[in-house]
Amino acid sequence: MLRIYDTRARQVEEIAAGRALRIYTCGPTVYRHAHVGNLRTYLMSDLIRRVLELRRVRVLACRNITDVGHLSDQGVDKVVAQAQAEERSVRELARSYEDAFVADTSALNLRPPEHSPRASETIELMVELIAKLIERGNAYAVPDGSVFFDVRTFPTYGEISGNRVDALKPAHRIDAVDPRKRFHADWALWKPADGELSWETPWGRGFPGWHVECSAMSLRYLGARFEIHTGGIDLRFPHHEDERAQSDSVAGHEVVRHWVHGEHLLFDGRKMAKSTGNVVLLSDVVAAGLDPLAVRLAFLEHRYRQQLNLTWDTLRAADRTLRRWRSRVAGWAESVSEPMAAGQVQRMEAAFEDDLDTPSALRILRELERDESVPPGAKFEAFLHVDQVLALDLSTEIGRAPTLPAGAGELLTARERARATQDWAASDRLRDELAERGVHVSDTPEGQTWSLS
């Protein structure tokens, strides 16, 4: 069905989906716009979903919204700090960037999740989870109102990232071990605070730790066992290690079957990050006159767990390919429908199912585009079929493209075959016949294109 690399198992494993599958994706912290590097991670989840749905598996997805609890290196909530900088309320700022994120994911044709809970609206779930961890002896409260997870109560901590508890060192920004902790690697489940983002609990007023949010929301919306948990490679440690420890300690068993991570994105050879000043937003791509789905296509040209160096040249090339394919599909739509090219389609589907090997699938699609032995109607059906996974809107030009004069479609097909057999005399003659019908033909490295005079 689908084989994918499991970070915890360190190998590609088959996903046992049955008729339904549940998937959790760590969502954005809504204090700024998501850049295209962030969006690449969400494409990975979308591909998993689309490949499974092609096999008629029902997918139930949850992607949270972090609008509280994610602290900066200085220990300040990122949403609060940005709200102060922009002189807006925390709620107004968070909803604004959440809406922008949803718009970006829609522009990239990412299917919306069934559940998209906000951290600020699920505090009760977190408090209940923390109370259970204290009751089970996995967490402890301290006098100032903080609650910490006792990492030494979870023996398999580190299986995702490879880190060992006895080898962990205090974070670089901490000069001394926190005296409130039993062990320096323990992490906060609840932190004391006042202000707009704080709530009353049995331990005092405060707000949740970042890691506990995903445990509470995934357990609530997907249940005590679910198949796939995804996120960026940077979330392996500490976020996913801490989340696994919390969830498994409460449930009493392994909650997540497969942990799947996407690699970093570089832009012009440098890490994409605000700290480096190297940030490209989807709106920047649109402002450059490129289709936002050119970003999706550029991502598909590389395996999700390979580091990708994106450039403006690769985005422009993807945009040209996207426009050419849409034009081709519109042209093929004028031909008589034929059964789709089963051999190529099966190879593309096999590539999708082989650890989301989209680069191989796209190579096969290009082969199909150039294959003169495949009738245009069959190419049309095949392109639309695989676009259920690619989601490049390849059919958008149908009906917009100029209608070919009667008989011109057959002449174009005959000319493609003449060029394939290097019958240049016939090719030139057919070009002249098409010109008489008002069809101008141009030859490109990818094949012939046409326009109406």
Known binding-site residue numbers? 26, 214, 239, 243, 274
Q: At what angle do helices 358-370 and 376-390 cross, to 10 degrees?
A: 160
* Tokens linked to 414: 């005959």
Which residues are CB-contacts of 154 (< 8 A; sequence separation ≥ 6)? Answer: 138, 245, 248, 249
Annotated binding site for ATP: 274
Annotated binding site for Zn(2+): 26, 214, 239, 243
Could you tell me if 139 and 87 are in contact, meaning their C-beta atoms sit under 8 angstroms apart? no
Residue for token pair 């009751």:
135
Residue for token pair 């996207």:
322
**Pairing status of strand 206-208 against strand 187-192:** antiparallel
* Tokens linked to 128: 């209940």
* Tokens linked to 203: 């331990």
**Sign of the alpha-carbon dihedral angle for 436, 442, 447, 451:** negative
Could you tell me if 226 and 22 are in contact, meaning their C-beta atoms sit under 8 angstroms apart? yes
Quickly count: other Cβ atoms within 10 Å of residue 323's Cβ: 14
Which residues are CB-contacts of 86 (< 8 A; sequence separation ≥ 6)? Answer: 93
Which residues are CB-contacts of 103 (< 8 A; sequence separation ≥ 6)? Answer: none
